[in-house]
Structure 1
Amino acid sequence: MSSLLPPNSTSTEHALDDATARLGSVASPLRDLWNPHTCPEPFLPWLAWAYSVDTWSDAWSTEQKRQVLAASYSVHRSKGTRYALQQALNSLGYSVEVIEWFEDAPKAEPYTFRLVATINQTPMASLSLYRSLIDVANATKNVRSHLTSVALEGNSQAYLYVGALFTVGETITLAAEAP
């Protein structure tokens, strides 16, 4: 592309014109940057900031970060409801059951709830998991409700192989003769 600078332009203006002329050839995948599933991993915290994600942790796996970003719209749309709380907690990749005070047996203190998270194939629960569940719940719940406890249940799958052998036959005893 030819320059549009006048003949009396300075060398700084020519250098700036040369530098900006190359910007058109730089790929700018804006659609990928605004999509939580295709955004490059280093840009996920910036996308979370743009989406106003309330709770974010660098310790989360890339898949957890993408799920939290994907669920952020539905969480913000219905924030303060049980549905939003359930969506936000499930976006972390765990099956979480919200038990409110009137569903508990025996009934708990009014306007309280507890969480029961099922963790599949995880060898051990960490303190960061507890903190993530508590932070997400406190950021998403309604103002009047209070979280009383978080319980973690482990769930493992294993395969059991059973075999049997049954034989029928005769016993033959061989004896060697001495010469």
Structure 2
Amino acid sequence: MSDTSLLPKNASDYELALEAVTARIGEVPVVMREVWNPDTCPYALLPWLASAASVDAWDANWTDAQKRAAIKASLGVHRRKGSIGAVKRALNAIGLGVKVQEWFNQDPPGDPYTFNLIFETDQTGIRFEDIDKILAVVDSAKSLRSHLNEIISIVISRNQPAFATASNSGHEVTVNQYADPIVVINELVVPVTEA
């Protein structure tokens, strides 16, 4: 027992060993404020930080950015838990941009206390593996009286149109074996007729 010990003289061996171990806690090279910050927390400690931050839906297969974003959004989700805003915030935190359409905003109005999720995706759409994740996040954030009616995926193609022109002056051009132009849309051939 050292001179600075706060233990009584009749302390057990276990208490003395515990005191010796905790006396060196200041030598641990981890800064606590870095561990409690989702941006600076070591990757291996993220599941424990998520548990401490009460992240309801967690997937070990998420990317590093998705895990950190879910931890950051946890407080905001819990503040609004049981609302559509919490559902949006939770899904946006893991990188799934979503619009929520409640029953009274549908045309015609849907069943009371139901809602649709509308995802705008690129050509790949939503994978089946992601649907289970989406449902887990929605169930943890929505109101108990509300029910998910439908997941609507809107596939958006973002491509720039390409135009080409050719001009020629002063020459006579003769076209042999001319064929009417056709347009192919999703493997459907549409003949182009002149008006």
Instruction: State if a TM-score over 0.5 links the two structures.
Output: yes
Counterpart for residue 58 of structure 2: 56
Identity %: 36
Question: How far is the alpha carbon of 1:81 from its aligned partner?
Answer: 1.5
Specify the alignment match of 2:146 in structure 1: 145
Cα distance change, pair 85–124 in 1 and its aligned pair in 2 (3 A):
closer
**How many Å separate the matches in 1 of 2:140 and 2:44?**
24
- Confirm or deny: 8 A CA contact 1:67 1:91 kept in the other structure: yes
Query: Over residues 131-167 of structure 1, what are the superposed CA-to-partner deviations in whole Å (9 max), with x where a residue is unaligned?
Result: 1111111111111111112122223322333232323
Contact 1:130-1:150 within 8 A present in 2 as well: no
Partner of 1:47: 49
Root mean square deviation, CA, Å: 2.8
- CA gap 1:170/1:40 in 2 versus in 1, 3 angstroms: same
Contact 2:70 2:93 in 1 (8 A): yes
Is it true that 1:84 corresponds to 2:86 in the alignment?
A: yes
- Give the TM-score, by structure 1 length: 0.76
Q: 1:27 to 1:156 in 2, by over 3 A?
A: farther
1:136 equivalent to 2:140? Answer no
Q: Choose the corresponding residue for 1:97, options 96, 99, 103.
A: 99
User: Structure 1: how far apart are the matches of 2:31 and 2:120?
Assistant: 38
Give how far 1:25 is off. Answer: 4.2
For 1:125, the equivalent position in structure 2 comes to 126
TM-score using structure 2 length: 0.70
CA contact (8 A) 2:125 2:153 kept: no
Amino acid in the other structure paired with 1:138: D
Shift of residue 124, structure 1, vs aligned partner: 4.3
State the Cα deviation string for residues 19-68 of structure 1 (Å, max 9, x = none): 87876444212222111122222221111111111111112222111111
Task: State how far apart, in whole Å, the 1-side matches of 2:169 and 2:139 are.
Answer: 68
Q: Distance in 2 between matches of 1:46 and 1:88?
A: 19
Compute the displacement of 1:125 (Å).
2.2
Moved more, 108-117 or 158-167: 158-167
Aligned partner letter, 1:144: R
Q: Is the 8 A contact 1:89 1:136 kept in 2?
A: yes
User: Which amino acid counterpart does residue 151 of structure 1 have in structure 2?
Assistant: I
1:29 corresponds to which of 9, 28, 31: 31
Consecutive unaligned residues of structure 1, counting only runs of 5 or more, are 6-12, 172-179
Does the CA-based 8 Å contact 2:117-2:150 persist in structure 1?
yes
Task: Give me the whole-angstrom Cα distance separating, in 1, the residues matched to 2:156 and 2:65.
Answer: 20
CA distance in 2, matches of 1:144, 1:20: 49
